[in-house]
Structure 1
């Protein structure tokens, strides 16, 4: 087909490729802008949520201190000397901390390497080369 045979209204392949490229480029840019705006909202909400959790944690710490003092004063009202009452409360927290440390150590010792995942991940390079069982057949 020559330029004479082509109608003036029909687009050329070059023009079609250029238009498609331009359209894809503008689509990608629009998607990037959409992702940025969505991430801004998510990051703002995440920051506010994290701040609220931090404040709640601080208030929980204050509550723990106040409840500890209250328990000690209940022991004083039961007839104990204030020093002993506060020492008993501190000892209870010491026992609780020791228990949590022990349980934490036991839980940490249960951590194992993901053997099946490591095994299958080792087969991926051979599979990509076209040898599905190659990693398993190696000596």
Structure 2
């Protein structure tokens, strides 16, 4: 019987025949290695910069929310001060019911203001820390410099 012999496109050897041993690869030249290192270093730096941008964007978002909460807390504080002043006026003018209710409302507003201010300060603290990727970029650059001097 006659068999159709198909040629494999990669080895150019007939199917079913033993595959030829791959040619040993030549070691890359020094120039090629330097080119590869340069390319990989630039890719690494670009990736680290992109990561730093993403981290800074996230921290800016958190800081913006914190500033917004602090501004809102200041607005409530302004109203609370007005209510407390009104409570003091009514307290001096009458004996009991009006100023007590105004004082309770003012105290509640102060409590809300304190809670919002504390949350805002916590978000600002989280948003103002140094991104970790900045230190990684510095470490990468120093490692590359050390490798070049060897």
Greater relative contact order (Cα < 8 A, sep 6+): 2
Q: TM-score of the superposition, structure 2-length normalised?
A: 0.46
Q: TM-score of the superposition, structure 1-length normalised?
A: 0.50
Bigger share in helix: 1
